[in-house]
Chain A
Amino acid sequence: MSSALEQMTSSGSNAPEVIQGIKTETGKRVMGYFHPIVPEELIYAAGFHPARLYRWYFEEPITVGDSYIQTFLCSYVRSLWDQVLKGKYPYLSGAIIPRACEAVTFLYQTWKRHKPTPFVDYINVPWKRTENAVGFFAQELGRVGKDLGKFAEKEVTEDSLRNAIKVYNKNRELLKKICDLRKAEIPPVSGTEIFDVVMSGFIFDKEKHNELLEQLLTEISQRAQPSKPLARILVSGGCVIDRRVWEMIESTGVSIVVDDVNNGSRSFWYSVEDGAKEPLEALARAYIMVPSAFKTSIEDRFNYVSELISEYKVDGVIFAINRNCESEKFVYPELNKKVKGKTKVPTLNIETDYLVDMAPLRTRVEAFVETLKA
């Protein structure tokens, strides 16, 4: 029987099969969604299997997609849309797409026009964190909940939401617990492994994922201690879903002890109020804090990152920002200044892109690690 980690890692290399399997076994329809700002609980409460929309075919060149969406838009959206158009995800019944950056906002519109699935919906996300904004966000979530309920032909009730929140809080708690282990001087689990663990959470059923996470905690406690890393790194960016980037960075001898990315901490670094009287408002209140660049001020983002730097005793920050990721690239100059100036931690900026060779990035990372060693 393969270990929990093995199961989670392998799911990332054949996600469509796994998700199709879940659909067949449970009879649940699959509802895709894009970005951690979309509360999965809503989808879960409506009786669907939530599947975060990431391209799962990592070596598929973008062909068909280019006639719908220009090349100067983010390759996450382009590659995903290309693969959706090619029918790579036939199990999808729908998608929920937020008003985030221009590429993602466009994804909703092109999805609506070309209808690869019978259902698609959007969420207007506030860019402020005031009480007004929380109220508005809760109303938006309510509207999406109604739309989901209509599509499911079964209303989303407050109780089902509270139940979903319980399951998801447990999931976030377990993930946080595992991540906390990396605060140790010698982290017992690597950044690449955490990457696999978190990504599998976007594939598996939440209760199954919770089981695997509990198992993983036991497995980690039984491991032999690895060697001390050359440096403790924080990776910051938008989405960094190319596994090679995590591997490449850690192959230099450093450990990625914590991250500030959409497919990492931003997906679980918070908790939703348990047993809330108004579960929609509780969801809004928690999710409005997700520190993605498109909706977060530089100051709020810096506070998030600097707390991670000090809690995890980070030696160096690597910004890994995707080509054409406008929001993250815009925030980078001032955020970088603040990180270097206030935390005194050195930083490196590398640009990731779809289907590029790791070697040039590797040179930059190695050179950076060499300066940290000195």
Chain B
Amino acid sequence: MFAGVDIGSASTKAVLMRDSRILSYYILGSGSDFRKSSQEALSEALNRIGATVGDIDRIITTGYGRYITEVGSEAVTEISCGARGVSFLYPEARTIVDIGGQDTKAIRINDKGQVLNFAMNDKCAAGTGRFLERIAVSLGLDLDKMAALSLKSPTITAISSTCTVFAETEVVSRISGGESLESIVRGLHNALAGRIYGLVLRVGVKETVLVCGGGALNAGLVRELRDFIGDVTLPLDVDPRLLPAIGAALIAKERHVS
């Protein structure tokens, strides 16, 4: 049995696999203590199938907190793990768009799941999930409600600011100016999708394009992304945040054999 633990800035994910089958998984908020969250994620995943740590042959950690943990002794970046995980479940994928809370990644892979090229957003919230989260908070809405509003709107109010803070001001201005909330919210999703598209263009779009990470759960964002990129595939049979952890578990298996 092999484990992959993805310690991200927003959430920690643990996946247990045997014979390339997912046995169980667990997702929880990372909080500020990665050691704690990684330990907890792994224990909960084990509890679900009545197993213990001793049953695991190898653990690989990935994600932002991959070194700040006691659970595994090897770390591999979430880029390589994500590539591996996506390629395993979706062998036709050649471009991965991973929209996380704190960063967004565009990864080009070959038919073996090897990373050919990647790009990540540079030091700015405006291209990440954080952009929507911030504004949702200031509007007093949750992300699901925001997505629903976005999907409802037939029009897009362009939100031009590339700074999350400026965008917030712009939104508030427009609302007090009497503009439609739905159209503005759709504009926000559209602006984020446009910036993500710009990132993807840096690595080149090659079909099929697989969108994963927390952003894939946002139907409003996905709709806008489709307008920019064209056809995209979403992970249907697995939580889209799990792909790097799955990839980590697969790499753990590979390294164990060799």
Contacts and interface: CB of A to CB of B under 8 A. Distances in A.
B122 interface: yes
Contacts of A359: 64
B122 A370 contact: no
Interface of B: 64, 76-80, 103, 114-116, 118, 120, 122-123
Contacts of A152: none
A371 interface: yes
Contacts of B122: 351
Contacts of B78: 363
A173 interface: no
Contacts of A364: 120
A353 B76 CA distance: 25
A158 interface: no
A367 B123 contact: no
B107 to A, nearest CB: 9
A219 B123 CA distance: 42
A356 B122 CA distance: 13
A366 interface: yes
Contact of A363 (B77, B116, B123): B77
B114 to A, nearest CB: 5
A374 interface: yes
Nearest to A348: B118
A49 B225 CA distance: 59
B203 to A, nearest CB: 12
Interface string A341-367: 000000000010100100110011011
A374 B115 contact: yes
Contacts of B123: 323, 351, 353, 356, 360
Contact of B77 (A351, A353, A366, A374): A366
A364 B79 CA distance: 8
Given A351-B122, A351-B123, A367 B64 contact: no
Given A356-B123, A367-B79, A371-B116, 8 more contacts: A367-B77, A367-B115, A370-B77, A370-B115, A371-B80, A371-B114, A371-B115, A374-B114
A118 B79 CA distance: 53
Contacts of A353: 123
A369 to B, nearest CB: 9
24 contacts: A323-B123, A351-B122, A351-B123, A353-B123, A356-B123, A359-B64, A360-B64, A360-B103, A360-B123, A363-B64, A363-B79, A364-B120, A366-B77, A367-B77, A367-B79, A367-B80, A367-B118, A370-B76, A370-B77, A370-B79, A370-B80, A371-B115, A374-B114, A374-B115
A371 B117 CA distance: 8
Which 4 pairs across A and B sit closest by C-beta, in order of nearness? A367-B79, A367-B77, A370-B80, A371-B115
